[in-house]
Amino acid sequence: MGPAHYRLCPQSSEHLLNASAVRTQPRFPAEVAAALKHAGWHPGRWDIRQAEEWADQLAGHNDPAGPEHSVFPAAVEAWAEFGGLFLDQTGAGRLMARTPFLIDPLCGLHQPRTLADLGRALGRQVAPLGEEQYGLALLAIDEDGRVYSLDHTGEWYLGPSIDHAVTGLVLGAMPERLKVQP
């Protein structure tokens, strides 16, 4: 049996941001902006030097028996803007409990095979983004900027962009499970 292929589910009306809308509203809902600010984020935050260091570390991590990490612009941009942010949150969210998460691609340093498998199933490159719940789930981003969470129960689609994913994680939105195509 060949590798599994996933399809993204159509977005439900529950999504919190409309990517096609002209930005007439703030980038993030007030609750999300406040949580991000508390974690150290601000509009214009951009640490490209750190993002490039992470890219070099990932590219230099070679396992002779396994695949190499993918590094691409969407990942480097997400790392530059949100890298190093830790949101230590708990409690009830809108649809599920909020979980702490960290944006640090080195959380996936030793997971190139897992990320390559997901990338093959999605038909696109995937890079590490960070972790949820102190390492119980791996956050990943694809070359189009879509964000995923991988845990022991499966693969989850967090949104079409880092903004959607962060908003969903902060608000406790229900992610969509990736479905295997028949």
* Average pLDDT score, the chain: 90
12 pLDDT higher than 50: no
Cα–chain-centroid distance for residue 173? 14
Longest CA–CA span in the chain (Å) reads 50
Tokens standing for residue 136: 């119980």
Digit-coded pLDDT (tens) for 108-141: 999 999 999 999 999 999 999 999 999 999 999 9
Q: What is the mean pLDDT of residues 41-62?
A: 97
Domain boundaries, the chain: 27-103+120-180
Surface-to-core class of residue 29, CB atoms within 10 Å of its CB (0-12 exposed, 13-18 middle, 19+ buried) = middle
Residue 180: predicted pLDDT: 79
2 pLDDT higher than 60: no
Give the containing element (helix H, strand E) for 158.
strand 154-159
